[in-house]
Amino acid sequence: MTIKLDVKDKKIIRLLDINSRLPNSEIAKKTGLSKQVIGFRIKRLIKNKLITSFYTVIDISKLGFTIHKNFLRLQNLDRNKEAELIEYLKTNPNVVWLASCDGKYDLAFGTWAKDMAYLDKTLNDLNQKFGEYISEREIATIIKGEYFIRDYLTDNKEPSALRESFFGAVPSPVKIDDTDWKILLELGSNSRKTSVDMSESVGVSADAVSDRLKKLEKSGIIRHYNIVPNESQYPYAHYKVIMGLKNLTEEKELALIEYCRLDPNIVYIVKSLGPWEFEIDLEVESASQFRDVMMRLKTEFSSIIRDYSALNIYQVHKYNFCPSIQSHNA
């Protein structure tokens, strides 16, 4: 059963979506509420499981990795075996994103890899353990992913300014040390951790953590701080549309991206290399609103949309762009 959000909750969620590291005092100033009320409401959002986690968008191409999306159609497995498969992928250090869905596929996950041999090993390990339960698999490599602010949460008619919240797939490593990696790991599990919170586990002072954090942001390794809503409680349905394109020119591609940025219900897009060329994530109040959004999109870009499939993402199990230092050291 979903929980109704009031106007104040929506404002808080949107501000956390813009920057999930915003301190309660800053959110209080922007909403006209007290710092104590903000703290109470955020704790309530977490307690009611409306927000699964706060995560950090890391451009892993700057760590020497690419992301490959895997979409699985499953067969011949019961709930226990499905739970075992999900747990295996959740705890796999090379899996950065994992979700259950309805539609053409039952499960989708993203893996990071330094090269094709690295990816091959990750998938071979999966096949050895669960291959008999996979009837179909498609793999698409992310060329570029980009996040948009959840403007549907407010009544503002003007869309938010474009934010530099994207990551790429062409490896262009930036030199960092193990202390930087430890900071990324801390922020990967919870982007709201303060420098003081991280200092003990990282092994340097809070001031040193803050300085390193600024450098990681300036280098483009850290792109943004965001939220992960819990689809089972969040009062907006999450759809992922995987789209094949045709007759695509640079001008038409830019027009499609700009259209997505201006639509308040589109929260994420991906340009990919694989069976399809584009992915769009939407959050909507109902299936009918989803159909309306797609009808407008199909009408506007009928000359370049070849085909598409819609997946209803009903549970995100993992969202962590920096899941393991073992992968870094491998």
Higher pLDDT, residue 168 or 109:
109
- pLDDT of 3: 74
- pLDDT of 156: 66
Q: Which of 133-137, 140-144, 306-310 has the lowest mean pLDDT?
A: 140-144
- pLDDT of 174: 85
Q: Which tens digit of pLDDT belongs to each residue from 225-258?
A: 999 999 999 999 999 999 999 999 999 999 999 9
Domain 7-48 identical in fold to domain 61-149+230-319: no
**Mean pLDDT, residues 23-44 taken together:** 96
Q: Is the pLDDT of residue 89 over 80?
A: yes
- pLDDT of 189: 87
DSSP character at residue 159: P
Q: How far is the C-alpha of 105 from the C-alpha of 137, rounded, in Å?
A: 9
Confidence class of residue 173 from pLDDT cuts 50, 70 and 90?
confident
**Mean pLDDT, residues 120-145 taken together:** 95
- pLDDT of 60: 86
- pLDDT of 157: 59
Q: Is the pLDDT of residue 327 over 60?
A: no
- pLDDT of 136: 96
Q: Is the pLDDT of residue 323 over 80?
A: no
Confidence class of residue 158 from pLDDT cuts 50, 70 and 90?
low
Q: Extract the runs of DSSP E, i.e. beta strands, from the chain.
A: 51-58, 66-74, 95-102, 107-113, 134-147, 166-168, 222-229, 237-245, 266-273, 278-284, 305-319
- pLDDT of 168: 61
**Mean pLDDT, residues 186-199 taken together:** 93
**Mean pLDDT, residues 186-201 taken together:** 93
- pLDDT of 4: 85
**Mean pLDDT, residues 11-37 taken together:** 96
- pLDDT of 164: 54
**Mean pLDDT, residues 197-202 taken together:** 93
- pLDDT of 228: 94
The dihedrals phi and psi of 318, each to the nearest 5 degrees, come to -155, 140
- pLDDT of 321: 84
**Mean pLDDT, residues 141-166 taken together:** 77
Q: How far is the C-alpha of 68 from the C-alpha of 110, rounded, in Å?
A: 5
Q: Is the pLDDT of residue 31 over 60?
A: yes
Distances 165 to 40, 221, 239, 241, 255 between C-alpha atoms, Å = 28, 11, 20, 20, 18
Q: Which of 77-91, 163-177, 308-322 has the lowest mean pLDDT?
A: 163-177
**Mean pLDDT, residues 218-227 taken together:** 92
Percent of the chain at pLDDT above 70? 92
* Domains of the chain by residue range: 7-48, 61-149+230-319
Q: How far is the C-alpha of 321 from the C-alpha of 330, rounded, in Å?
A: 17
**Mean pLDDT, residues 102-118 taken together:** 94
Closest CA to 267 of 237, 246, 287, 292: 237
- Other Cβ atoms closer than 10 A to 76: 9
The CATH class given to the 61-149+230-319 domain equals alpha beta
- Classified by CATH at the fold level, domain 7-48 comes out as Arc Repressor Mutant, subunit A (1.10.10)
Q: Is the pLDDT of residue 328 over 60?
A: no
**Mean pLDDT over the full length of the chain:** 91
- pLDDT of 151: 92
Q: Is the pLDDT of residue 1 over 80?
A: no
